[in-house]
């Protein structure tokens, strides 16, 4: 549903109400995040940067003095969601205004970056638009928003990470025993379908020293697993602790030495950046989990070329073989796009063939969505929606049994599980396998934060169920501090 583009603030929405000076003390922030894990990381950092300003996080949007929609622009549907959500948020703002409560509405993330001022024109209730590179400026922007709408979608010269408040140990503990950590942002690959190079800008890697410091803080507060994030994370090349240029493999090797760090993961990777040292790291670093998200997008060389992926299907298959040779128990996952402009039945058959050949443990598949400003949007020969839907269903029929078989193969095996939270039922705890499957067991809550041996006894379509192998005892490096 389209939002009301011409909505205005009600007459009684005096500037004085709307712009009441920032109260000190109990202000509440509600951040709703869409899209990728990096947005989830950014959402947490936005809350962190506003905590010193007196904002506490709330899970209840109606209770929030500041509502932030942290948006995703990757596909049309994701972007449309923002405007329908903003319509609802506007009504909430009006309802709160009616009882004398001011609400500030901020739009952050990639839609903010891509649409900028257009958001303020389309939805007048919005007070603030902030791009992904500028959210360290939120405190200042909020002060300015008291005097009228503010927008910042610059790619500032300063590094936002240098200006972000660190979360307290208490906050880190609340967020759980697994955490995301952005090490690289932006992308220089320019795949023909993708908005990321435009919304997140050029590739940029954080210096290792800062990443390691952040990882130490997280581990010190009880985090046991870190997923390193980057739009193109395996292209990481940051300044090393010794001043040299470090690759992702160098960074992983260093992070594996951080005390208390039991597990490391990274995502998302481009096949062309899977360097030898990174493949070797999968063989050599026990902390590096045997799961790799390595999107291939299509199995047709013609379409891969049109997508500007700069590798062939055979290149990808060879790469998979090398990775599996280095780490035989590694599980692979991929993204696929069906219905890229010009994709014929024959091209799609090649995608099915590649999916069959690789045998993915999990797969994400999307119908091609034309994104303004990307080269793909200008291609003639767009594929009909019905054809995309039909191909999506056929791809699903190939990959879904692969995923189920992968889960089923673990029944009867004993695997290591990192316990993350209470389980679905009282007396249960839930965690993840090395291959990211959710695992439920009967067990005490004080095992949350431990890595322990679990015998898998059953699996459903999405979860594994197991028994703690008490005789083996927890194999993790002790309890949370």
Residues engaged in binding ligand SF4 (CB under 6 A): 187, 189-191, 194, 196-197, 231-232, 270
Give how many residues touch ligand 5AD by CB under 6 A.
12
HEC assignment per residue over the chain? CCCCCCCCCCCCCCHHHHCCCCCCCCEEEEEEECCCHHHHHHHHHHHHHHHHHCEEECCCHHHCCEEEEEECCCCHHHHHHHHHHHHHHHHHHHHHHHCCCCCEEEEEHHHHHHHCHHHHHHCCCCCEEECCCCHHHHHHHHHHHCCCCEEECCCCCCCHHHHCCCCCHHHHHHHCCEEEEECEECCCCCCCCCCHHHHCCCCEECCHHHHHHHHHHHHHCCCCEEEEECCCHHHCEEECCCCCEEEHHHHHHHHCCCCCCCEEEEECCCHHHCCHHHHHHHHHCCCECCEEECCCECCCHHHHHHCCCCCCHHHHHHHHHHHHHHCCCCEEEEEEEECCCCCCHHHHHHHHHHHHHHCCCEEEEEECCCCCCCHHHHCCCCCCHHHHHHHHHHHHHHHHHHHHHHHHCCCCCEEEEEEEEECCCCCEEEEECCCCCEEEEECCHHHCCCEEEEEEEEECCCCEEEEECCCCCECCCCCCC
Stretch in the footprint of ligand 5AD (CB under 6 A) among 13-21, 89-97, 123-131, 366-374: 366-374
Residue with nearest beta carbon to ligand 5AD:
335
The reply on whether position 230 binds ligand 5AD by CB under 6 A is: no
Which partner from the list ligand 5AD, ligand SF4, none does 371 bind, CB cut-off 5 to 8 Å by kind?
A: ligand 5AD
Cα separation, 126 vs 398, whole angstroms: 44
Q: Which of 75, 309, 403, 432 binds ligand 5AD (CB under 6 A)?
A: 75
CB of 189 to ligand SF4, least distance (A): 4
Cα separation, 360 vs 15, whole angstroms: 56
The pairing of strands 414-422 and 451-459 is antiparallel
Stretch in the footprint of ligand 5AD (CB under 6 A) among 51-59, 163-171, 237-245, 367-375: 367-375
Cα separation, 98 vs 400, whole angstroms: 50
127: tokens are 């007070």
Which partner from the list ligand SF4, ligand 5AD, none does 281 bind, CB cut-off 5 to 8 Å by kind?
A: none
Complex with ligand 5AD: residue 30 or 365, whichever CB lies closer: 365
CB of 268 to ligand SF4, least distance (A): 7
CB of 309 to ligand 5AD, least distance (A): 10
The reply on whether position 74 binds ligand 5AD by CB under 6 A is: yes
Complex with ligand SF4: residue 73 or 206, whichever CB lies closer: 73
Complex with ligand SF4: residue 366 or 404, whichever CB lies closer: 366
Which partner from the list ligand SF4, ligand 5AD, none does 189 bind, CB cut-off 5 to 8 Å by kind?
A: ligand SF4
Complex with ligand SF4: residue 120 or 274, whichever CB lies closer: 274
CB of 190 to ligand SF4, least distance (A): 6
CB of 94 to ligand 5AD, least distance (A): 35
Complex with ligand SF4: residue 200 or 263, whichever CB lies closer: 200
Angle at 99 between CA 97 and CA 102, to 5 degrees: 35
Complex with ligand 5AD: residue 183 or 468, whichever CB lies closer: 183
Q: Which of 28, 90, 122, 371 binds ligand 5AD (CB under 6 A)?
A: 371
Closest CA to 140 of 125, 150, 131, 132: 150
The reply on whether position 369 binds ligand 5AD by CB under 6 A is: yes
Complex with ligand SF4: residue 102 or 294, whichever CB lies closer: 294
Complex with ligand SF4: residue 194 or 439, whichever CB lies closer: 194
390: tokens are 């039909």
Stretch in the footprint of ligand 5AD (CB under 6 A) among 175-183, 302-310, 345-353, 368-376: 368-376
* Contact between residue 152 and residue 112 where contact means Cβ atoms under 8 Å apart: no
CB of 371 to ligand 5AD, least distance (A): 5
CB of 78 to ligand 5AD, least distance (A): 9
* Contact between residue 65 and residue 29 where contact means Cβ atoms under 8 Å apart: yes
Which partner from the list ligand 5AD, ligand SF4, none does 197 bind, CB cut-off 5 to 8 Å by kind?
A: ligand SF4
CB of 295 to ligand SF4, least distance (A): 7
What residues numbered 177-196 form the site for ligand 5AD, per CB under 6 A? 193-194
Which partner from the list ligand SF4, ligand 5AD, none does 231 bind, CB cut-off 5 to 8 Å by kind?
A: ligand SF4
CB of 192 to ligand 5AD, least distance (A): 9
What residues numbered 309-348 form the site for ligand 5AD, per CB under 6 A? 335, 337
What residues numbered 269-298 form the site for ligand 5AD, per CB under 6 A? 295, 297
Cα separation, 136 vs 108, whole angstroms: 12
Residues that bind ligand 5AD (CB under 6 A): 74-75, 193-194, 295, 297, 335, 337, 366, 368-369, 371
């Amino acid at each position: 549903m389209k939002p009301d583009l011409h909505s205005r603030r009600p007459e009684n929405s005096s500037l004085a109400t709307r712009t009441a000076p920032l109260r000190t003390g109990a202000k509440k922030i509600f951040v709703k995040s869409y899209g990728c894990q990096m947005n989830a990381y950014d959402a947490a950092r936005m809350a962190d940067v506003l905590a010193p300003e007196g904002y506490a996080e709330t899970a209840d949007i109606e209770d929030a003095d500041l509502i932030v929609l942290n948006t995703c622009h990757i596909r049309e549907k994701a972007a449309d969601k923002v405007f329908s959500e903003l319509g609802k948020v506007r009504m909430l703002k009006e309802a709160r205004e009616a009882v004398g409560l001011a609400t500030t509405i901020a739009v952050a993330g990639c839609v903010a970056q891509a649409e900028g001022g257009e958001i303020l024109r389309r939805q007048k209730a919005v007070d603030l638009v902030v791009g992904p590179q500028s959210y360290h400026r939120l405190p200042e922007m909020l002060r300015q928003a008291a005097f009228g709408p503010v927008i910042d979608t610059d790619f500032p010269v300063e590094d936002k990470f240098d200006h972000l408040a660190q979360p307290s140990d208490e906050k880190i503990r609340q967020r759980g025993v697994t955490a995301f950590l952005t090490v690289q942002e932006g992308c220089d690959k320019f795949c023909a379908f993708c908005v990321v190079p435009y919304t997140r800008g050029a590739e940029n890697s954080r210096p290792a020293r800062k990443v390691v410091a952040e990882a130490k803080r997280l581990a010190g507060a009880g985090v046991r697993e870190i997923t390193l994030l980057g739009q193109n994370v395996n292209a990481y090349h940051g300044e090393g602790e010794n001043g040299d240029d470090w690759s992702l493999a160098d960074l992983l090797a260093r992070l594996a030495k951080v005390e208390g760090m039991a597990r490391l993961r990274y995502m998302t990777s481009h096949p062309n950046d899977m360097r030898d040292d990174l493949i070797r790291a999968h063989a050599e670093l026990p902390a590096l989990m045997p799961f790799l998200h390595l999107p291939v997008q299509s199995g047709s060389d013609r379409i891969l070329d049109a997508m500007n992926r700069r590798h062939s299907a055979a290149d990808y298959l060879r790469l998979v073989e090398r990775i599996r040779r280095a780490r035989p128990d590694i599980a692979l996952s991929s993204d696929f796009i069906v219905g890229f402009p010009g994709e014929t039945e024959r091209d799609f058959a090649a995608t099915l063939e590649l999916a069959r050949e690789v045998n993915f443990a999990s797969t994400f598949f999307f119908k091609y969505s034309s994104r303004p400003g990307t080269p793909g949007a200008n291609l003639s020969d767009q594929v009909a929606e019905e054809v995309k839907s039909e191909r999506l269903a056929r791809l699903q029929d190939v990959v879904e049994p692969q995923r189920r078989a992968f889960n089923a193969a673990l029944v009867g095996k004993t695997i290591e599980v990192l316990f993350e939270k209470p389980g679905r039922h009282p007396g249960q705890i839930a965690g993840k396998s090395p291959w990211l499957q959710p695992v439920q067991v009967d067990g005490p809550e004080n095992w949350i934060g431990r890595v322990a041996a679990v015998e898998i006894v059953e699996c459903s379509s999405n979860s594994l169920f197991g028994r703690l192998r008490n005789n083996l005892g927890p194999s993790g490096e002790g309890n949370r501090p």
